Each structure stands twice: as C-alpha cells, then as structure tokens.
Amino acid sequence: MTTEQLRERWGDSLLTVLTGLLLVMMFVVAPLQALGLFEFQVFELLLAIFLVGGVFVMSGSAIAVVTMLVALAMIVTGAILRLHSPSILDLNLFAGSWLLVGITMAVTVARAIFAPGRVTYHRVIGAILFYLTVAVIFVALYTFIGTLVPDAFAGMKIEDRPSLASQLIYFSFATLTTTGYGDVAPLHPMARSLCNVEAIFGQLYPATLLARLVTLEIAHRDRDS
C-alpha cells in the first residue's frame, strides 16, 4: 500500500491517534520522566518516532518528509549523547527536533482540519492537536532562549535534567491559556515577546477555529442541499 493510499484511508483517523500520542507524551510521560524514571525516557523516544511516522503518512509533501527525517535523526542523536554525557548540545538537538516536528505537524494538521469538506469528529480532534502542537513549538523556542540567556526566566533554569520537559510544558500551557500562576516568569525581552505571542494566539485561536469550522459545515451542507 502506497503512502497516498494510506493517507486516503487513515488520514482523518491519524488526527485522533496523533492527538492521543501527544497527550500521553506531554501529560503522562513528561511528568514521569521528571521523576527520574529512565524507562519513560525510552518510551518518550518511541512515542516521538510514532509521531514522526504519523506526520510522514499525513503530509504527502517531500519537504515535510525530509524535515521529519531530519528531526528524527536529531532526536536519536540527542538521545545517544544524553546517555553518554548530558549537555547543552543534546538539549538544543532535542529543542531543534521538536521545533521541526511542531512546525511540520502544525502545517500538516492545519491543512487537514481547515480544508473544505464536512466537519468530522476527527477534524475537531485535529483542531485540539493543532492547539497542542503550538504549545510544543513554544516549548522549543523557550528552550533556545534559555540556553542562550541563562537568566531569561525567573523560577526556571534551562539545563539538561529529567524535569525540564515537564516544566517547560507547564510554563507553555500556563502562557497559552493566560493562566499565569507567577511561579515562572519571563525576564529577557525576547522571552517576554514570545510569551506575548503565545498568549495572543491562545486567546484568538478558539474564536477563529469556531468561525472556520462553522463556515466549513455550512458550505458543506449548502453543496449537499
């Protein structure tokens, strides 16, 4: 079975599957990894490979495929380096790989959920996946800022440790949802700028999404009537 046939058969279902995988990675594996359980670090790598494979099937773009393969190579390289000697290098490799995965996934998912046609259950779940993916993109960007400027954040030090991913995910969602608990705060101007962008997106996305989905459903019903 070709990639095109796989995409036609499983494309919509993959939106739900990828959403489940990302939810497990962010809210189950990352906290358990923060507790220092090595087996969950291995599990994180396996889930990342499944995510890359899912986007590979959904995208249908040569550029997206190459990007995901590069990201996968960076994830594997970073995992090997971490086993030998954790450092800023493998941290940036992980951040770079997740930035590539996040951007590629966001573009691929956006094309699927906002394309003309009937609004299905899987497309609604895909809209949630897009929202989660944006948080992942900002996790990677915050990592880069934190490695370049050690004091970019108050209450959070960007260094290679098991709890970092969980802390970055927590901060990204606190910013995206504009919860702002205050225990972690941006100090560097670029960090504050990124937080502003993420917070604005978090406020505008639900309204924009609802308007687009309603428009698509009305257009689909008009064509069928």
Over the stretch 163-198, which tens digit does the pLDDT of each residue have?
A: 899 999 999 999 999 998 889 999 999 999 999 999
The answer, yes or no, to whether residue 7 has pLDDT greater than 70, is: no
Q: Which pLDDT belongs to residue 16?
A: 87
Give the per-residue pLDDT at 144: 95
According to the model, what pLDDT value does residue 5 have?
46
Query: Model-level pTM?
Result: 0.88
pLDDT of 11 over the 60 cut: no
Q: Measure Cα distances from 157 to 42, 122, 124, 127 in Å.
A: 24, 38, 36, 32
Q: Are 95 and 140 in contact (CB under 8 A)?
A: yes
Per-residue pLDDT at 197: 97
